[in-house]
């Protein structure tokens, strides 16, 4: 106010006294109009925006916070969330209607829930979580079977088909075993879908010396880490939209994983 509207017509000392600021502080501000904290916040805002754009505008404040920490940028998550609100940087989250991929109405006996939500695993290739999700395309649904290593939370095997037959999950298991060559005793946890319960698939598990474990009927929390990964993939890759072709529907999750 003093610099832009008053100093040309009134003594600076009088303006400062009227507006209750120090004359020395005013002249110091003229040399550095933006304070150090304001400069830091602006720099942080630019970094937040860059991380948000690199995530295809799907990261919220918790994941931006973790990304900045990995880059050596120290900032409180609440501060990041506040700056995101000020700059209108929002996570792009879309929820889609779910398609039923689990058929548990069959004659095959399910395995017991050996895992029992014990998700804290310290060794690689000791517990694998398996499940199926779907990918909408203009040419029809694609189905994606995935195998997640519970320790690393990485997808170690996957398969995509236009059907839900047992070959879908067999393909994902074949990729995982070829890549990881697990030792006997690995715990294989899935839902009670017919693909995982059928004799053909259970024979594959026995051949590798795997122990079958299955979630209780209708309880997604028994396979929570895998369900969480599907939800993230759906939000960040599908974005509530259908791909134009099955070829593109296959390419996008592959690139993401």
**Average pLDDT per block of 10 residues along the chain, 257 residues long:** 90 93 88 76 91 82 90 90 88 55 67 90 93 86 92 93 92 96 94 91 94 83 84 75 80 80
For tokens 């829930």, the residue is 113
Name the CATH code of domain 127-256 (choices 3.40.800.10, 3.30.420.10, 3.55.40.20, 3.50.50.60).
3.30.420.10
d(CA 179, CA 168): 17
pLDDT for the residue 101: 54
Q: Interhelix angle for 36-54 vs 61-70, to 10°?
A: 100
Q: CB under 8 Å to 243, separation ≥6 — which residues?
A: 135, 136, 137, 138, 249, 252
pLDDT for the residue 29: 80
Every domain of the chain and the residues it spans: 2-31, 36-87, 127-256
The reported pTM is: 0.57
d(CA 123, CA 35): 49
pLDDT for the residue 235: 76
For tokens 């122990």, the residue is 211
d(CA 159, CA 59): 27
pLDDT for the residue 240: 61
């Amino acid at each position: 106010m003093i610099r832009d509207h008053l100093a040309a017509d009134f003594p600076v000392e009088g303006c400062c006294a009227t507006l209750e600021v120090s004359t020395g502080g005013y002249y110091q501000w003229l040399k550095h109009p933006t304070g150090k904290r304001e400069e830091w916040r602006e720099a942080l805002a630019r970094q937040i925006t860059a991380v948000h754009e690199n995530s295809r505008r799907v990261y919220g404040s918790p994941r931006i916070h973790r990304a900045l920490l990995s880059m050596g940028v120290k900032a409180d998550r609440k501060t990041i969330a506040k700056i995101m609100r000020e700059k209108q940087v929002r996570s792009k989250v879309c929820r889609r209607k779910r398609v039923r991929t689990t058929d548990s109405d069959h004659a095959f006996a399910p395995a017991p829930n050996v895992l029992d939500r014990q998700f804290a695993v310290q060794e690689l290739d000791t517990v694998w979580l398996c499940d199926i999700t779907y990918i909408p395309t203009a040419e029809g649904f694609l189905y994606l079977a995935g195998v997640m290593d519970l320790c690393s939370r990485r997808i170690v095997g996957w398969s995509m088909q236009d059907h839900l037959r047992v070959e879908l999950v067999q393909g994902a298991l074949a990729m995982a075993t070829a890549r990881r060559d697990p030792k006997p005793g690995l715990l294989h946890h899935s839902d009670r879908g017919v693909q995982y319960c059928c004799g053909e698939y259970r024979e594959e598990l026995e051949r590798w010396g795997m122990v079958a474990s299955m979630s209780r009927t209708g309880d997604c929390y028994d396979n929570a880490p895998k369900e969480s990964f599907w939800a993230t993939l759906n939000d960040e890759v599908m974005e509530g939209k259908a791909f134009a072709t099955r070829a593109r529907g296959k390419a996008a999750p592959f690139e993401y994983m």
